[in-house]
Amino acid sequence: MGNFHDLLVNRRSIRRYTSEEVSAENVKLILEAALMAPTSKSTRAWQFIVVEDKDMLERLSHCKPAGAAPIAKAAFAVVVAADPSLTDPWVEDASIAAAYMQLQAEDLGLGSCWIQVRGRFAGDNTPSEEYVQELLGMPDTLPVLCVMAFGHKDEERRPCDTSKLLWEKVHIGTWKEV
Ligand SMILES: Cc1cc2nc3c(=O)[nH]c(=O)nc-3n(C[C@H](O)[C@H](O)[C@H](O)COP(=O)(O)O)c2cc1C
């Protein structure tokens, strides 16, 4: 990847992955990105569970009835959780770490997709968070924000069209109704 802006333009959510494994070195780089993410008061209250086992990935993909299928065919997934008793803005901290991992994956030429868990429900109406906690043996004091799916890209997505950015969302100096 040439420069950071190109990386941002080219990063798209990738939901289809080849069966090729991701090297241990690249998995480590992606986790390093998460561990370097900024956190409020440097509390670093997040926890990351790396899942590579195919059967476990398949079961994780059932954390909600729609929108989680990409996990099943991912080379690996990272479950992102954090301890709210340690930091009030845990959602923000965990979100930044997740986004950092996506950007690092893109820089490595890998695809990724954020699968939302917090506030979602599994097929039997169990909260998706509980489903994931139970599956992975996590304590219920550790809410799950999302599952990040990673793998070698098996689909092409158009880069962002910078001519279509929503500049009306940007207000200079004071709020201006558009
Ligand atoms: C908070 C959040 C939750 C998301 N949840 C899901 C999800 O559950 N399943 C999914 O396939 N994509 C999910 N996405 C990916 C978005 O659908 C995607 O980022 C959006 O459509 C923009 O497309 P792009 O990432 O290719 O630019 C989520 C993204 C974010 C930031």
Tokens of 15: 């939901």
Measure 102 CA to ligand 1 centroid, in angstroms. 11
Pocket of ligand 1 (CB under 6 A): 12-13, 15, 67, 70, 113-116, 157
Residue 115 is assigned to a structural domain of this protein = yes
Mean pLDDT by 10 residues, the chain (178 residues): 89 98 98 98 98 98 98 98 98 98 98 98 96 98 98 98 97 90
User: Which is it for strands 46-51 and 76-82: parallel, antiparallel or unpaired?
Assistant: antiparallel
pTM score, two decimals?
Answer: 0.97
Residue 176 falls inside a structural domain: no
CB 150 within 8 A of CB 22: yes
CATH number, residue 44: 3.40.109.10
Backbone angles phi and psi of 37, in degrees to 5: -65, 145
Alpha-carbon distance of 126 to 69, in angstroms, equals: 18
Domain presence at residue 177: no
Range of the domain at 141: 4-169
Number of domains making up the chain: 1
